[in-house]
Every structure is written in structure tokens, then in C-alpha cells.
Structure 1
Amino acid sequence: MYPPVLDVFHIQKILGIGRRQAYELVNSNQFHVVRVGKRIKVSSDVFFLWLYGHSFSQQ
């Protein structure tokens, strides 16, 4: 079970990728991220929709 808001660490663990790859992914604009200071946060709903191949439009 994951929290409602994911950190890059969570994305690393979910996908089984390294830290550098996780940062490249969150900076790729493939899904919406929120920057809080130096931290990058991703809604778990948005991330898992992306992971399972569901498309959504960003306004």
C-alpha cells in the first residue's frame, strides 16, 4: 500500500529502477508532478493511471 502522494523514492521501488532513472522519469513531463521546494511529489492516482496506460489530458 502506498501513500496518496508519492516521492521519487516510491517510484523507484514501484518500478524497480535507480534513482537517476526515477528523476529522469519525473522530469519527462509524462505525468503531472508538484514541486515543493526541492522535493518532487506525484499523486499516486496520477502515477498509477500513467503506469497502467490510461491517458488523460493536462489542462
Structure 2
Amino acid sequence: MYKNYDDYPDILNVSDIQEILDIGRKQAYELVHSKKFHVINIGKRIKVSKNVLITWIEGGNLL
């Protein structure tokens, strides 16, 4: 069930974020729209660098 960060791709989608943080879909979308870290919008897709998410999780300053 639990994975290591290394098991995830370098560029994450919202479902990866849900799994990593063990949160629901709505919470994951609220988080990526919160501007707490840099996201990439490609059409309707939302992508986040794994390094950016890990830095945010660990309390690093991003913005």
C-alpha cells in the first residue's frame, strides 16, 4: 500500500498527490489550486514536480 517517493514519476498528477498525502480528490484539487507551490497546467491537466511537492511536505520555502 505505501510507496517510497522513488516509486512515483518525476512529474505528478493529482491522483499521485492524493495517494502520497492520503487525501481525497476534492482536498487534492483544493491544494493544487491554493498556490502553496508551483503547478503546471497543460490544458485541463495539472502537473506538479515531485521535488516541489516533497520540498513543500518537508516545510521548505517555495514561493
Query: TM-score band (shorter)?
Result: over 0.9
Aligned to 1:39: 45
> For structure 1, which runs of at least 5 residues remain unmatched after alignment?
none
| Fraction of identical pairs, as percent | 54
Q: Does 1:24 align with 2:52?
A: no
If the length of structure 2 is used for normalisation, what is the TM-score? 0.87
Secondary structure of the 2:38 match is coil
Worse-matched range after superposition: 23-32 or 47-56: 47-56
Q: What is the CA-CA distance between 1:56 and the residue it aligns to?
A: 2.7
If the length of structure 1 is used for normalisation, what is the TM-score? 0.92
Secondary structure of the 1:35 match is strand
Distance 1:27 1:56 in 2: 15
Secondary structure of the 1:54 match is coil
Query: What's the RMSD between the two structures over aligned residues?
Result: 0.7
Query: Deviations along 1:2-29, whole A, 9 cap, x unmatched?
Result: 1000000000000110000000000000
